[in-house]
Chain A
Amino acid sequence: MLIHEFQAKALLKELGVAVPAGYLAETADEVRLAAEKLGGQVILKAQILSGGRGKAGGIVVADSSDQAGLAATRLLGRKLITAQSGGRGLVVKKLLVEELVPPAREIYLSLVVDRKNEKLAALVSVRGGVEIEELAKSGPQAIKKEYFYPERGLMPFQARNLAYFLDLPDAAYKTFLDYLKKLSKFFLARDMKLLEINPLIIKADNQLVAADIKMDFDDSGLARQPEISSLEDWSELSAEEKRARSFKLNYVKMAGHIGCLVNGAGLAMATMDIIKLFGGEPANFLDIGGGVTEEAVGQAFEILACDQEVKACLVNIFGGIVRCDLVARGLVSSARKIALNKPVVVRLQGTNEAEGRKILGEANLPFYFVEDFEQAARLVVNLSQP
């Protein structure tokens, strides 16, 4: 789970890590007022849950409070499409207004769960403000990594290794070690996946300031992190995504016209892939999961069938824990409720499949049964075309 920059900065401040002075604002007037308090010259940062904001125009420097107000009018309410927002625009509703911190130097610091090596890693770079993936390719000698484990945490000698690699001025060295200790403890205590400070600014007076921060938490850890869970922002989710989430359905909206309702993540991906293979475009990823109820199946189906973009649906169920008759009942009651008028290709295999087919067959609704996976995909692609 990603949190906003302003939320991450509040958490760091609590820890005792310095961040730029700033205010959160939701209107141009609030922005102007904040800029005045900060002395006029400020940086405005769109608070959306995505990286790549700068390139998308979501970060603006203003020289006066009036200029800040003007820039805010242009930014607030605008949709930003970033390299990471999946083609969808994210509406800017909040701006973080901050003092400009003049850097003497910019460095990079991150803590991450390294999935490939099955370790935790602390990464630093002598160059801040650049994308670390790019730098890893173009200038790997500028990066240093220390692996550590949850049992022992990051050890003091490892922090020293990183600090000396960065060749920090004496006055910044102690603060850096102190920050790294606090941050690595926080990382472990809060079930984080990624904590990235980029850039970490070294000011002329050798003070360290975390100018930009990204925090990503392990979704599976949220059950024991009530404080972090409460920071989740649902407002960036579409209405469909919110509805899916509240019924514990794994749903991701995509750009195509064929709605997919599947049990199991792997089979759901394979269903999207086979649609594409035969010339169609999936409208979504949807895994109804193993513990699904009849009501949730109905909700899932409504999300697809009521989507204006969806021209036809493919239901692909391999019953194991999920029973085909339960899915069939959910489909039928939802289709009746919404007066279904789109073609739906249904493939049911496994637990109680005969019963499921009987329920759908007797419903007198536009359901097409296909037993073969490929035939089902071909048919739904045909039916989706105008």
Chain B
Amino acid sequence: MSILLDRNSRILIQGITGQQASFHTERMLEYGTKVVAGVTPGKGGRLHLGLPVFNTVEQAIRQEAPNISIVFVPPLAAADAVMEAAAGGLKLIVCITEGIPNLDMLKAKRFLAEQGSFLIGPNTPGLISPGQGKAGIMPASIHRPGPVGLISRSGTLTYEAVYQLSQLGLGQSTAIGIGGDPIVGLKFVELLEMFKSDSQTEAVLMIGEIGGQAEEEAAEYLRQSNYPKPVAAYVAGLTAPRGKRLGHAGAIIEGNEGSAQDKVKCLAAAGAKIIENPAWIGQTVRELMTEKKGN
């Protein structure tokens, strides 16, 4: 089945007339994704890439009935765009933008919780359900449809993992980047829960990194839920220095919290198969799946 995104998803692009947004909208359309409209305030009424452009999300919803929005709006306006999508009633919002202030995200997250909308990101490549649709900026060609659910805090490291899986003939049900910022929407716990009841997903691959507590929370969830599907995990940043931000706004070991060593320890104790070597991501997932089938 896949989660969150399938062949029936109808996608709205906020900030569609921007350069990055235009480029990636074309790639999504090439992949066969149903992108149905775009929003750029002040540019409503015209066609862009053959798609109708509206001034507001409200108008776009009335005319084209999208159910997912992808936000490519600049950082200081992005949280407002996310809230606009939620206020319009969209239940899934994917925010690609990097560099949104923490305080804006705190406000947006609480607003989304009130509206009952889910957020993926910000600072994410988005998500893809291979063969069905792509709501993001990842290179489509490396993906194959298949049984592995993938949840990651990274961009290019996710592509590396997908590449390794696909090389071994292991496709993906849905691959999701949850974003590299300190405050993000859906995290490992919520997505593990969704993969649990997805019939296509036979195993889950988690890719974590230093900073925050999302991996520790995931470990706690795996333990408490007695998670029924095999889970493999790789955590980047074993060699990361303390107190330095490594690329992602959220990738920083603060005080005694957020080291890769702690995360690996928690996940291993919760029964996840730990991937020590980032060149063996595909191989380890394959071994894990064969083991479980043999049992």
The segment from B38-46, B209-217, B286-294 that touches chain A is B209-217
A223 touches B106 (CB 8 A): no
A373 touches B279 (CB 8 A): yes
- Residue on A nearest B209 in the bound complex, by CB: A266
Further pairs besides A223-B99, A266-B152: 20, Cβ < 8 Å: A84-B242, A118-B106, A119-B106, A150-B107, A220-B101, A220-B102, A220-B181, A221-B101, A221-B102, A254-B239, A270-B157, A271-B278, A272-B237, A273-B260, A274-B279, A318-B163, A320-B156, A349-B163, A374-B280, A377-B279
Q: Which of A133, A264, A350 contacts B157 (CB 8 A)?
A: A264
User: Which chain B residues border A188 with CB–CB below 8 Å?
Assistant: 103
Tally A residues with Cβ within 8 Å of B. Answer: 56
B125, B234, B246, B276: most-surrounded residue (chain A CB, <10 A): B246
A115 touches B142 (CB 8 A): no
Tell me, rounded to whole Å, the shortest Cβ–Cβ distance linking A198 to chain B.
Answer: 14
- Residue on A nearest B244 in the bound complex, by CB: A252
User: Which chain B residues border A151 with CB–CB below 8 Å?
Assistant: 107, 110
A266 touches B103 (CB 8 A): no
Tally B residues with Cβ within 8 Å of A. Answer: 60
- Residue on A nearest B109 in the bound complex, by CB: A118
Tell me, rounded to whole Å, the shortest Cβ–Cβ distance linking A224 to chain B.
Answer: 6
- Residue on B nearest A268 in the bound complex, by CB: B247
A269, A277, A285, A377: most-surrounded residue (chain B CB, <10 A): A269
B110 touches A149 (CB 8 A): yes
Q: Is A351 an interface residue (CB 8 A)?
A: yes
User: Which chain A residues border B276 with CB–CB below 8 Å?
Assistant: 277
- Binding site secondary structure of chain A: mixed
Assess A220 versus B75: contact at CB under 8 Å? Given A150-B103, A320-B155, A321-B137.
yes
Q: Is A116 an interface residue (CB 8 A)?
A: yes
Interface string of B232-253 (1 = CB under 8 A from A): 0010111111111111111100
User: Which chain A residues border B213 with CB–CB below 8 Å?
Assistant: 115-116
Could you tell me which B residues sit within 8 Å of A by CB distance? 75-76, 99-103, 106-107, 109-110, 125, 137-139, 142, 152-160, 163, 180-183, 207, 209-210, 212-213, 234, 236-251, 255-256, 260, 276-280
User: Which chain A residues border B152 with CB–CB below 8 Å?
Assistant: 266
Tell me, rounded to whole Å, the shortest Cβ–Cβ distance linking B176 to chain A.
Answer: 14
A266 touches B154 (CB 8 A): yes
Tell me, rounded to whole Å, the shortest Cβ–Cβ distance linking B79 to chain A.
Answer: 11
Q: Is A11 an interface residue (CB 8 A)?
A: no
Q: Which of A224, A250, A269, A350 contacts B236 (CB 8 A)?
A: A269
- Residue on A nearest B256 in the bound complex, by CB: A133
Q: Which of A84, A150, A220, A372 contacts B249 (CB 8 A)?
A: A220
A318 touches B156 (CB 8 A): yes
User: Which chain A residues border B250 with CB–CB below 8 Å?
Assistant: 115
B244 touches A273 (CB 8 A): no
Q: Which of B160, B243, B247 contacts A250 (CB 8 A)?
A: B247
Tell me, rounded to whole Å, the shortest Cβ–Cβ distance linking A338 to chain B.
Answer: 25
A266 touches B255 (CB 8 A): no
B106 touches A277 (CB 8 A): no
Tell me, rounded to whole Å, the shortest Cβ–Cβ distance linking B179 to chain A.
Answer: 11
Q: Which of A118, A220, A263, A269 contacts B210 (CB 8 A)?
A: A269
- Given the complex of chains A and B, what is the CA–CA distance between A254 and B118 in angstroms? 39
B181, B182, B239, B278: most-surrounded residue (chain A CB, <10 A): B239
- Residue on A nearest B122 in the bound complex, by CB: A220
- Given the complex of chains A and B, what is the CA–CA distance between A252 and B138 in angstroms? 26
User: Which chain B residues border A162 with CB–CB below 8 Å?
Assistant: none
